[in-house]
Chains A and B, each alone.
Chain A
Amino acid sequence: MNTHMKQADIDLLDTIQRVEASPYLLTRIQQRIESKQATRFSTTWSWAIGISFVVLLLLNIATLRNNHSASSNENNLAQSMNLLPNHNLYNE
């Protein structure tokens, strides 16, 4: 008896009817997709701006380093040719 009751209870699930989805859902889905795409677009742009900023920064650092090493090379060359400015006339 008890088992029959339980089975009958579970079988109540078979009486549940199918329901139709709201016709307005498609519009809401399309709006969501559009807003997600807009967000994704701005995210892409912010990434692009961020990356170009980092690249510019790295380029600046590289240029500064090169300039530094170039100027030390020039100094070495000038030193070897006794072209460095000093106050001793004729290397006395």
Chain B
Amino acid sequence: MNLAELYTTYKDMVFNLSLSYIQNIEEAEEITQDVFVAVYQSMDTFQEKSSINTWIYRITINKSLDYIKAKNRKKRLGVFASLFYENTNEVKYEQPSFNHPGVLLEQKESVEIIFNHINQLPDNQKTALILYKLEHQSLESIAAIMNISSKAAESLIQRAKANLAKKIN
């Protein structure tokens, strides 16, 4: 498979998954580009121990989590810088607003709140929940993507749901 074929087959999967992590179109597009560049660069080293689908899922998850970490680092740095520079009462880096094109307008506010809570979950719980609720993956494929057992995947989802329920009310 060449890049164009891979892109045609997996672009929506990659874009939607990164959108679930970031909830912003521009940033999800940025991650999608990063993912396909990484896929292209490591295509030769891809060993068919897992399916190509699982492999691309993993790359997307890693790129999304890395992006979030970098964004948070930038945000912390912005807060820190605003303490030292004069005439800057505002934070230098502002998190872009919630911009998920898949959310219905009338539910935008409620879904944004839920995503805010999901974003506070530990990475593995967040990943398991996103794969289960938003990507509609089976426990077996979640286990394969996350390189854990099906039972561990199920337990992560249950914990994520419980934590989310606690946070919602």
Contact = CB atoms under 8 A, between A and B. Distances in A.
Given A18-B16, A19-B19, A25 B32 contact: yes
A3 B168 CA distance: 10
Interface in A1-43: 2-3, 5-7, 9-10, 12-22, 25-26, 28-30, 32-33, 36
Main secondary structure of the interface of B (DSSP, over half): helix
Interface residues of A, number: 26
Interface stretch (B7-15, B50-58, B70-78, B87-95): B7-15
A22 B104 CA distance: 19
B36 A13 contact: no
Contacts, number: 84
B101 A33 contact: no
Contact of B12 (A5, A15, A19, A29): A19
Interface residues of B, number: 32
A12 B114 contact: yes
A25 B161 CA distance: 34
Contacts of A10: 114, 133, 161, 164-165, 168
Contacts of B111: 12-13, 15-16
Contacts of A28: 33
A12 B107 CA distance: 8
Q: With a 10 A CB-CB cut-off, give which of A17, A21, A22 has the most chain B CB atoms.
A: A21
Given A6-B168, A21-B11, A25-B33, 20 more contacts: A2-B169, A9-B110, A10-B165, A12-B111, A15-B103, A15-B104, A15-B111, A16-B100, A16-B111, A16-B134, A25-B15, A25-B36, A26-B3, A26-B11, A29-B33, A29-B36, A29-B40, A33-B37, A33-B40, A36-B41
